[in-house]
């Protein structure tokens, strides 16, 4: 039951505005997420893609206010969840929202379940944190949650420990914990990467079913464009801490504009090839310390780079309705470089 009178279902559930998240390395601040803006509407599934090190996890941890304390911090911009700027929320208030209104499935499922507690304990802990229910009710609800994520014999599994379960089962448990309080937004960071293809498909089907039943929005982070095609409404392509392209899923696949996106598309492996997805773009994502200070961060790997790409920083701009690209190829004229946001 919501008491938030200012929020209606047409508003975005999440607004990220010019988010800058920095890590301190050798006494200097480096932005791992740099000027990122996007909205998530209720029930929308937004895919976030980009190679390793592009800032996908740091972006999600920023939204959850779960950055490693003293190491990473939000340095600029705003994260607004259901109309509330999370910067202004105390740890206590954030704890009330986290797990209840917004949940996250972390990239490393093996490390996010606590090995010393039973599955039931960990599920019930989440329920007790957010609901006024008895022990007996919590146990029954946990069993029904485990059942809802396709775990057979939930009455037995509830008393087992994480190491007694397969990777797929652990991931289902993670999902059960994440959806226990029917969040309005789920951030799923590579929810299926560690799993084999069949289990992967089952978990994605499960997420979609839950999304429909619970009317929840999902930010789905993945290396796998096949997953994006199957699951997402909109896609954000990140490169070196920035959004380089954002559009609906059909446009992304049929009319990609940024050369990085085009290369990602070309990097989709064929079904029968057992190769790492996104492995075939030459070069690597720059580390935070080696980030180009001006110009397009992709310029030195870009097959379409022009001389000015190394000196003029492109801005993310709408090239047509609902399609944003950050590339000089699509900018007719640029003001002087000093005026640009890096």
Residue 220 C-beta-side C-alpha neighbours within 13 Å: 32
Instruction: Give which of Mg ion, ligand ATP, none residue 162 binds (C-beta under 5 to 8 Å, depending on kind).
Output: none
Query: Given the complex with ligand ATP, which of 133 and 291 has the nearer CB atom?
Result: 291
From 65-73, 130-138, 252-260, 300-308, span contacting ligand ATP (CB under 6 A): 65-73
Dihedral of the alpha carbons of 4, 6, 7, 10, in degrees to the nearest 10: 160
Instruction: Give which of Mg ion, ligand ATP, none residue 123 binds (C-beta under 5 to 8 Å, depending on kind).
Output: none
Query: Given the complex with ligand ATP, which of 58 and 157 has the nearer CB atom?
Result: 58
**Distance of CA 36 to CAs 182, 234, 294, 342, Å?**
27, 16, 17, 11
Q: How far apart are CA 56 and CA 63, in angstroms?
A: 11
Of positions 20, 21, 35, 57, contacts Mg ion by CB under 5 A: 57
Instruction: Give which of ligand ATP, Mg ion, none residue 58 binds (C-beta under 5 to 8 Å, depending on kind).
Output: ligand ATP
Of positions 20, 44, 62, 107, contacts ligand ATP by CB under 6 A: 107
State yes or no: residue 54 binds ligand ATP (CB under 6 A). yes
Q: How far apart are CA 61 and CA 67, in angstroms?
A: 5
Residue 177 C-beta-side C-alpha neighbours within 13 Å: 26
State yes or no: residue 60 binds Mg ion (CB under 5 A). no
Looking at residue 322, the DSSP 8-state letter turns out to be T
What is the CA angle 277-278-282, rounded to 5? 140
State yes or no: residue 236 binds ligand ATP (CB under 6 A). no
Instruction: Give which of Mg ion, ligand ATP, none residue 168 binds (C-beta under 5 to 8 Å, depending on kind).
Output: none
| Residue whose entry in the numeric block shows the structure tokens 């929005």 | 217
State yes or no: residue 23 binds ligand ATP (CB under 6 A). yes
- Give the footprint of Mg ion on this chain (CB under 5 A): 56-57, 107
- Give the footprint of ligand ATP on this chain (CB under 6 A): 23, 32, 50, 52-58, 68, 71-72, 107, 287-288
């Amino acid at each position: 039951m919501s008491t938030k009178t200012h929020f209606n279902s047409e508003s975005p559930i999440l607004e990220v505005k010019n988010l800058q998240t920095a890590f301190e390395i050798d006494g200097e601040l480096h932005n791992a997420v740099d000027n990122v803006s996007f909205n998530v509407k209720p029930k929308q599934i937004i895919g976030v893609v980009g190679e390793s090190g592009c800032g996908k996890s740091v972006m999600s941890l920023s939204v959850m206010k779960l950055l490693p304390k003293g190491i990473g911090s939000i340095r600029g911009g705003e994260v607004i969840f259901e109309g509330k700027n999370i910067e202004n929320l105390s740890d206590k208030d954030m704890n009330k929202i986290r797990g209840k209104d917004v949940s996250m499935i972390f990239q490393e499922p093996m490390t996010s379940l606590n090995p010393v507690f039973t599955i039931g304990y960990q599920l019930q802990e989440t329920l007790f944190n957010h609901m006024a229910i008895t022990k007996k009710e919590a146990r029954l609800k946990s069993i029904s949650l485990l059942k809802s994520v396709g775990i057979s014999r939930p009455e037995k599994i509830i008393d087992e420990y994480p190491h007694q379960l397969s990777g797929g089962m652990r991931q289902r448990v993670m999902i059960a914990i994440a959806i226990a309080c029917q969040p309005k937004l789920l951030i799923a960071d590579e929810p299926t990467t560690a799993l084999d293809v069949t289990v992967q498909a089952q978990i994605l089907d499960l997420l979609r079913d839950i999304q429909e039943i619970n009317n929840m929005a999902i930010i789905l982070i993945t290396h796998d464009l096949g997953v994006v095609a199957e699951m997402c409404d909109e896609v954000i392509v990140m490169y070196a801490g920035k959004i380089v392209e954002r559009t609906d899923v059909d446009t992304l696949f049929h009319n990609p504009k940024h050369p990085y996106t085009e290369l990602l598309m070309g990097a989709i492996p064929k079904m029968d090839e057992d190769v790492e997805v996104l492995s075939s773009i030459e070069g690597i994502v720059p580390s935070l310390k080696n980030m180009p200070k001006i110009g397009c961060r992709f310029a030195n790997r870009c097959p379409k780079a022009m001389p000015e790409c190394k000196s003029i920083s492109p801005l993310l701009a709408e090239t047509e309705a609902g399609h944003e690209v950050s590339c000089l190829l699509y900018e007719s004229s640029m003001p002087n470089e000093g005026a640009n946001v890096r």
